[in-house]
Structure 1
């Protein structure tokens, strides 16, 4: 049984929203909390408090509600919550935290509704509550029969939720959670085009705006000749975006359609000035390497690893719509933080928070990019200027060349080796840039905490030097750990090869006995048949414990053809609430890892980002994608996070497999970095 006090302690401020009831008379039907309601006909609606950027939050919410209310997921209608942290608690999608933080509040919300319905039925029958049970959308009693939820809604709504004990369905009685059957609840809508993404959410009668962006880093518009643009059909206005809080800057063209806006932008004649027109990412990388200390703290085997800039490149480019009115503003956006965005807009516009509405649309990928508000700020600025609803659309090239990139970094690793070939001491020296989107990440200690998850029992030192970033940098899937772990695991693989040691055996010897990583490493080695190597192949291994979860990855490749054949992963996420979703998240991380190892990187030449599309930012194609096998390792650990977990070890294992025993010196593998 869960008491209100226990719930608050367990889940933090967000749980308060479950514990405080909403008066039934205020909304009709049974509305015991902000997450779950039943209308007078017994129909169930669940409010999803956080956005779904592809990670499957909506599916897990549907599973949790259906489980606790003893119905099928098809019986649950999902509604996406608008931005409102006072009602729904924190709404940020970050740090692989969504399901971890929502599980107890959402399950408790649905269980509260179930317990109210069961109590109402017991009172009607005059029997003990313990003799009643919910099943298939009704309350059942062995002698009294069955009462559908629809006939109990009124009586249940009259009860005070604070007086009804709430018990969650124990795992041994789960019908849906933790089971292998069932995919995403929104899969059909996605593949048939019925899902409305941000890019589909243009308000009726609104304008479309595109922005002429600086052609090189930091440039500003000195003079604008918009005569030809204004003469084109459909072009409504042309204006600069230069004020603070108007996005990244540039010249906006607002028109009646996307095509007209793009034609208008092409017709502009702009004189640009300032910035860094000579910037070159190869020079940036050299500067980072030159900032390494002149001497490593210890003598021994040494290797330097170089990491490139990476763009987020979600399938849906950046976009947002806004309508600024005298009485407030409404925003439609694929955002990772609708609640925080609402608060920021109210502060920036100087209006009450209550007058700002943020509708979080479906999102075609995010990977950290949609935490940032710049497309929304542009849409708001355009709507204020025109007095109309405006949808701002970024093209693929806009998106690729004006991102907030994963920072470059250089890593020098040194290891002192014992007589048995096993490392006995290590150092890891890092020079990198901060995340400009969050000034806190100028702190070396914070970067170290984000990136350093070395799990092996080798004593040593990790140091971080932070250099000023010459362009926008931001959160990219797994943030800094993707770079730290890539260097650490490839270095460990090189040390094993130098000493003639087995990669898996070395890692087992260096992991704490009985640890979660020990278990997942054993599981993946067994599944990959590590003891029997296929002729002509090479293999790589990597492990990571982060986000409250543990994972081990083995990649199998043909180093001659540079083809990755198979990737095996074993993952411990505590309780896997949606096993199909677990596998999908790992598979997605593997594709990202494969892409960045095989060649995807952002380069800057003559002040410009060279890449503009998937034609030159080479993300993996279907034919390059290996078979991915995911083993879920049962565990009694608390629920862990997953969205970013598999990327770092998958990238490291794939690179080691492709290297075939030769040293890896950076990412991408086998080509120049920067």
Structure 2
């Protein structure tokens, strides 16, 4: 992985240093000038949080975890990377959240944040090098202590052993000596054949905490003198609250005050129950309703306009217009993907404690650095006075990279001068989300006389996600996030054109699991099966033909072939989809049935090439998680609008996949020496096309709109 520049102009390798600290220990990590030049003296036998790893004289080993644990397993996989090279056991390493600092920037995202399947990819070199450097120094310290060559010393479970079989010293005993040694200019990473952790299934480090109820999520935070609050927002998009009646809300026992804040009307109470009860009794007036015209059908009609006329071209190969005109058969289809909510298990929440001399924020966030920046703007405090304590996340999927719920808590605490925990109801969560955008897709394909595709045209129509988040990345009218997956389509056509027609709507949109792949894969993979059917080809065989120059993709299909060729169970259909994203590739086969008028997914077989697998069990769990998330979006979930507001208010009208609907899932992992790719987002985009293609095989008609309705 290439090094990336830091905020101070240093490369990551330039920043790898050793800092000797008081207390007879050694701290290792990326040192940044702002901290390296301070005169702060660490507390005795305690280390400044300016490193990935700290080794204490009492034998304790601490890892600063710079990525949020939201169910994807990074607490375990990142610790495995460090422990592998450090030659320590997972049980010997203590984990604590990293502080906010450019040193902990996720170089694939450009900020200190978690998302997009980047955590293991970004930490692959960094944490292994940090561990290897510590191990190297421990061995050197032991060799000097014993007066023997380093080649006679080996490290194992945080101890250095001499070849004589009797001498050994723990890392804690060696820390003081190691701190006095010169820093090596380079370190040697272990050969793959010597790995004992990487590539093996390890029990997740966060599971015992969660089973015992000891894991602290955002809603578990309790601070002395803490108040509880909810924010009543106007349910109509774009409307303003012109007035409210708080008489009934104030009458609720425990309610302290009701007043206006930036995002709505705050109900502040002594307990969460009182705040929620006051919220339910609060009456708000949202006139004028400037967006009463916001309705699903109107939004759909607006996007349909973009299917015709001119549009910016994102990719052009050959002459698609001529190839289509000369094709023996032309096929055209339009696909529709609706707005989707994130529906995280844990609703949005944040606890802030703003004081004249500082601010502490306890929050389940994917973006701690952005959280600190927001608090700095709201309070005027310098960044070093603002501490962000990242808790466990009860789901993220991109929603917790937003900051609206953080704003609520910081604003209230700053105003009241007390710690405040802001909680959202499930209705708040569904009706005030940053949704996966609604998109339309127009595809045209040309087949030659043998039924082989020779031309491919794809127009994506939808709002821009980056227009709000990062408008500087939009070039020539094209939002690269909206064409993710469509632009990097692995299939080879003689003639191909991709267009993007921006069609913004008043609906707030944001990042969603799989981002552009989540809508583009549905359109491209379903249309490919339509072309296969029209040309008389087996869907897997057609993909093999179009991937003839891509051995990595062919390897996936080869592993899937025996499952594909097996007899299809009676009353079921079989379909497949191929997705390439975040440095990984996935082939997914679905078997579905229609029972009592409903689509039931019975079985999935997933073949994944994600480079080097760090923790196979965690990777399989992410495949299963992505399939569950994708099935909900494929068969159930949809956000609709009427009279300017979201119609869904809870899991009664935004249902999730139930336990009795869970399909059988088999995951096959391709062995690879390549660096790790992302896993958390790749399965979700493949589910909808695999299911739709299975229904095409079963029922003989295409399904071009999500969620699928018979």
**The TM-score by the shorter chain falls in which range?**
over 0.9
**Which residue, out of 156, 165, 179, partners 1:135?**
156
Instruction: Kindly report which structure 2 residues correspond to 1:126-275, keeping only aligned pairs within 5 A, or say none.
Output: 126-143=147-164, 145-160=167-182, 162-163=183-184, 165-179=186-200, 181-242=201-262, 249-274=263-288, 275=290
Matched positions, count: 657
Q: Is the 8 A contact 1:416 1:425 kept in 2?
A: yes
What is the CA-CA distance between 1:623 and the residue it aligns to?
1.1
Structure 2 residue 702 is the aligned partner of structure 1 residue 663: yes
Q: Is the 8 A contact 1:447 1:464 kept in 2?
A: no
What is the CA-CA distance between 1:20 and the residue it aligns to?
2.8
**Which residue, out of 64, 68, 71, partners 1:51?**
68
Q: Is the 8 A contact 2:66 2:104 kept in 1?
A: no
**Which residue, out of 296, 302, 306, partners 1:291?**
306
Distance 1:283 1:13 in 2: 51
Give the match for residue 309 of structure 1. 339
Q: Alignment partner of 1:205: what SS?
A: coil
Q: Which sits farther off after the overlay, 348-357 or 503-512? A: 348-357
Give the match for residue 489 of structure 2. 454
Over the aligned positions, Cα root-mean-square deviation in angstroms equals 2.3
Q: Which sits farther off after the overlay, 402-411 or 10-19? A: 10-19
Deviations 1:643-673 (A, max 9, x none): 11111122211221133242121111126xx
**Which residue, out of 13, 24, 41, partners 2:21?**
24
Give the match for residue 385 of structure 1. 415
Structure 2 residue 447 is the aligned partner of structure 1 residue 427: no
Structure 2 residue 494 is the aligned partner of structure 1 residue 472: no
Q: Is the 8 A contact 2:695 2:702 kept in 1?
A: no
**Which residue, out of 538, 549, 553, partners 1:517?**
553
Give the match for residue 245 of structure 1. none
Give the match for residue 317 of structure 2. none
Distance 2:14 2:123 in 1: 12
Q: Which sits farther off after the overlay, 342-351 or 275-284? A: 342-351
Note closer, same or farther for the CA distance 1:433–1:451 as it changes in structure 2 (3 Å cut).
farther
Q: Is the 8 A contact 1:575 1:636 kept in 2?
A: yes
Q: Is the 8 A contact 1:219 1:273 kept in 2?
A: yes
Structure 2 residue 518 is the aligned partner of structure 1 residue 482: yes
Note closer, same or farther for the CA distance 1:105–1:294 as it changes in structure 2 (3 Å cut).
closer
Q: Is the 8 A contact 2:526 2:693 kept in 1?
A: yes
Give the match for residue 563 of structure 1. 600
Unaligned runs of 5+ in 1: 243-248
What is the CA-CA distance between 1:445 and the residue it aligns to?
4.4
Q: Alignment partner of 1:657: what SS?
A: helix
Distance 1:10 1:213 in 2: 39
Q: Is the 8 A contact 1:595 1:619 kept in 2?
A: yes
Structure 2 residue 420 is the aligned partner of structure 1 residue 362: no
Give the match for residue 246 of structure 1. none
Note closer, same or farther for the CA distance 1:146–1:164 as it changes in structure 2 (3 Å cut).
farther
Q: Alignment partner of 1:643: what SS?
A: coil
What is the CA-CA distance between 1:540 and the residue it aligns to?
0.9
Note closer, same or farther for the CA distance 1:7–1:413 as it changes in structure 2 (3 Å cut).
closer
Q: Is the 8 A contact 2:217 2:393 kept in 1?
A: yes
Note closer, same or farther for the CA distance 1:126–1:10 as it changes in structure 2 (3 Å cut).
farther
Distance 2:214 2:78 in 1: 20
What is the CA-CA distance between 1:71 and the residue it aligns to?
2.4
**Which residue, out of 445, 448, 469, partners 1:438?**
469
Deviations 1:440-463 (A, max 9, x none): 276424245424232111231111
Q: Is the 8 A contact 1:93 1:337 kept in 2?
A: yes
What is the CA-CA distance between 1:7 and the residue it aligns to?
6.8
Structure 2 residue 366 is the aligned partner of structure 1 residue 329: no
Q: Alignment partner of 1:211: what SS?
A: strand
Distance 2:190 2:587 in 1: 31
Distance 2:645 2:194 in 1: 58
**Which residue, out of 141, 144, 162, partners 1:123?**
144
Distance 1:36 1:176 in 2: 18
Q: Is the 8 A contact 1:82 1:360 kept in 2?
A: no
Give the match for residue 553 of structure 1. 588
Q: Which sits farther off after the overlay, 442-451 or 471-480? A: 442-451
What is the CA-CA distance between 1:534 and the residue it aligns to?
3.0
Q: Alignment partner of 1:568: what SS?
A: strand
Q: Alignment partner of 2:28: what SS?
A: coil
TM-score, normalisation: structure 2: 0.88
Q: Alignment partner of 1:22: what SS?
A: strand
Distance 1:150 1:21 in 2: 16
TM-score, normalisation: structure 1: 0.93
Distance 2:104 2:625 in 1: 32
Give the match for residue 280 of structure 1. 295
What is the CA-CA distance between 1:169 and the residue it aligns to?
1.8
Note closer, same or farther for the CA distance 1:514–1:426 as it changes in structure 2 (3 Å cut).
closer
Distance 2:570 2:665 in 1: 20
What is the CA-CA distance between 1:258 and the residue it aligns to?
0.8
Deviations 1:98-134 (A, max 9, x none): 1101111111111111111110011111111122110
Structure 2 residue 659 is the aligned partner of structure 1 residue 604: no
Note closer, same or farther for the CA distance 1:103–1:206 as it changes in structure 2 (3 Å cut).
same
Q: Is the 8 A contact 2:234 2:284 kept in 1?
A: no
Deviations 1:526-548 (A, max 9, x none): 3x242433333211111122211
What is the CA-CA distance between 1:263 and the residue it aligns to?
2.0
Q: Alignment partner of 2:381: what SS?
A: coil
Give the match for residue 47 of structure 2. none
Note closer, same or farther for the CA distance 1:367–1:13 as it changes in structure 2 (3 Å cut).
farther
